[in-house]
Amino acid sequence: MTSDSTAASALRPRRVLIDCDPGIDDALALIYLAGLHAQGDIELLGVTTTAGNTSTAQTALNATWVLEQCGFSDEHIPVAAGVEVPLEVELVTTPETHGATGLGYATASGVSPGGEWRELWERALAGGEVDLIITGPCTNLATWLREGHEFADFASVTVMGGAVLYPGNTTPTAEWNFWVDPHAADEVFRAATPGHRITLCPLNVTEQMLIGPGEAEQLIDALGDVPIAATLPEILRFYWEFHRSVGVGYTAQIHDLLTCMIALDQVKYSAYPASLRVEADSELTRGTTLAFRGEQLGGEPTVRVLERADVTSAKKRFYETAAFLD
Ligand code: RIB
Ligand code: CA
């Protein structure tokens, strides 16, 4: 690559796909990405969805509705439902965490998207480099790999999931996304090689990204007349009540929003190299993430694991970016 093309590519907006399971914190991540898209900082090429917080059909409807409430119809930013169930295990969803339809006390209206997720990914990749962000179970990417595609198709892959030597939020050792589809997570990280740019954002750091009623007010002020602002209180109230019920307090851990900021280098962070495996076959330890440092697995580390992030600046960036939607 010549220096001119390097400089030019550095100036061009990054081309982004998000694969998510909205889900309340996924919804905030979509608001953030829509804001970056409106600002011209990224080109949000599309949104694909998985089952996890709720069914794949519902996550697709939710994603479409959130983007519409931010001013972007399916023509602007295509949405497509992905694979309906985990690779091997039965689908389990979590209405107790994200509400009956995945958006807390709110309910998306409108029409479900009709696109096909593989075609959406192929169209995006045909146009140049793509950064893939995954904030739900890894079912779609694992299916993409099983069908003979390559990790190298993507310039970078950033995954929200796992808990590394840290308490899980689903079992004592497992984080929700990796517990819902442990085979997908394990197959994705087994396919990783040192040449790929893959980053894991585990609970160890994402649980520090908290947005409570005070921060929500700043967000709603920043959004101004953007329609989503009117529904955010009912979406977030459910999440605050859930976090209070599990002892976190009347606030909400916004895992997926921080993951998007890390993926797009929007905040300062540090990460360490490791190779990852996810336990998939034992019921007791299902979804547990094992990070092997150095050459413990007999080869160079293949993933960067997020270790620290500046969550204070992350929140400030979120409000500034959301303001671009108004
Ligand atoms: O464990 C946190 C993850 O599970 C987040 O992606 C949240 O949306 C839920 O899917
Ligand atoms: Ca999610």
pLDDT tens-place string over residues 112-141:
998 999 999 999 999 999 999 999 999 999
Which whole number is the average pLDDT over 45-49?
A: 98
Residue 228 and residue 31 in contact, taking contact as beta carbons nearer than 8 Å: yes
* Residue 5 pLDDT: 53
pLDDT digits (tens, 9 = 90+) for 309-322: 999 999 999 999 99
* Residue 7 pLDDT: 60
Band (244; pLDDT cuts 50, 70, 90) = very high
19 lines ligand 1 (CB under 6 A): no
Helix axes 139-146, 117-126, angle to 10 degrees: 70
Ligand 2 centre from 188 Cα, in Å? 17
* Residue 75 pLDDT: 81
* Residue 2 pLDDT: 43
pLDDT digits (tens, 9 = 90+) for 246-292: 999 999 999 999 999 999 999 999 999 999 999 999 999 999 999 99
What contacts 24+ positions apart, CB below 8 Å, involve 235-241? 235/24, 235/27, 235/103, 235/104, 235/105, 235/106, 236/24, 236/104, 236/211, 237/104, 237/105, 238/24, 238/98, 238/99, 238/104, 238/105, 239/24, 239/25, 239/97, 239/98, 239/104, 240/212, 240/213
Closest CA to 160 of 141, 185, 135, 179: 135
DSSP β-ladder status, 156-160 and 289-292: unpaired
176 lines ligand 1 (CB under 6 A): yes
Which whole number is the average pLDDT over 236-250?
A: 98
Q: Among 204, 255, 259, which residue has the most ligand 1 atoms within 8 Å of its CB, making it the best to mutate?
A: 255
* Residue 6 pLDDT: 55
Backbone angles phi, psi at 172, to 5 degrees: -55, -25
136 lines ligand 1 (CB under 6 A): yes
Q: Is the pLDDT of residue 1 over 50?
A: no
Check if CATH label 3.40.50.10490 holds for domain 4-325. Answer: no
62 lines ligand 1 (CB under 6 A): no
The gap from C-alpha 29 to its chain's centroid, in whole angstroms, comes to 7
97 lines ligand 1 (CB under 6 A): no
Residue 178 and residue 224 in contact, taking contact as beta carbons nearer than 8 Å: no
Band (8; pLDDT cuts 50, 70, 90) = low
CA distances from 166 to 120, 204, 290 (A): 36, 6, 11
- What does the block give as tokens for 310? 């500046």
Ligand nearest to the CA of 169: 1
207 lines ligand 1 (CB under 6 A): no
DSSP 321: H
DSSP 111: -
Q: Among 31, 59, 177, which residue has the most ligand 1 atoms within 8 Å of its CB, making it the best to mutate?
A: 177
Q: List the chain domain ranges.
A: 4-325
- What does the block give as tokens for 37? 């898209």
Band (109; pLDDT cuts 50, 70, 90) = very high
Rounded Cα gap, residues 257 and 275, in angstroms = 24
Rounded Cα gap, residues 37 and 250, in angstroms = 31
Q: State the closest ligand 1 atom to the C-alpha of 97, by its place in the atom list counted from 1.
A: 9
- What does the block give as tokens for 278? 């996810």
* Residue 9 pLDDT: 56
**183 in catalytic set:** no
Which amino acid belongs to residue 177? N
Q: Among 26, 200, 201, 278, which residue has the most ligand 1 atoms within 8 Å of its CB, making it the best to mutate?
A: 26
SS3 assignment, position 67: helix
Ligand 1 centre from 163 Cα, in Å? 12
Q: Which of 10-19, 209-218, 299-308 has the lowest mean pLDDT?
A: 10-19
pLDDT digits (tens, 9 = 90+) for 183-237: 999 999 999 999 889 999 999 999 999 999 999 999 999 999 999 999 999 999 9
Q: State the closest ligand 1 atom to the C-alpha of 259, by its place in the atom list counted from 1.
A: 6
* Residue 73 pLDDT: 87
Residue 54 and residue 27 in contact, taking contact as beta carbons nearer than 8 Å: no
Q: Is 30 left (phi over 0), alpha (psi -120 to 50) or beta?
A: alpha
* Residue 298 pLDDT: 84
53 lines ligand 1 (CB under 6 A): yes
What is the chain's percent helix, strand, coil content, to nearest 5? Answer: 40, 15, 40
Rounded Cα gap, residues 284 and 304, in angstroms = 27
Neighbours of ion ligand 2 (CB under 5 A): 21, 23, 26, 135-136, 256
Rounded Cα gap, residues 274 and 194, in angstroms = 10
Ligand 1 centre from 257 Cα, in Å? 10
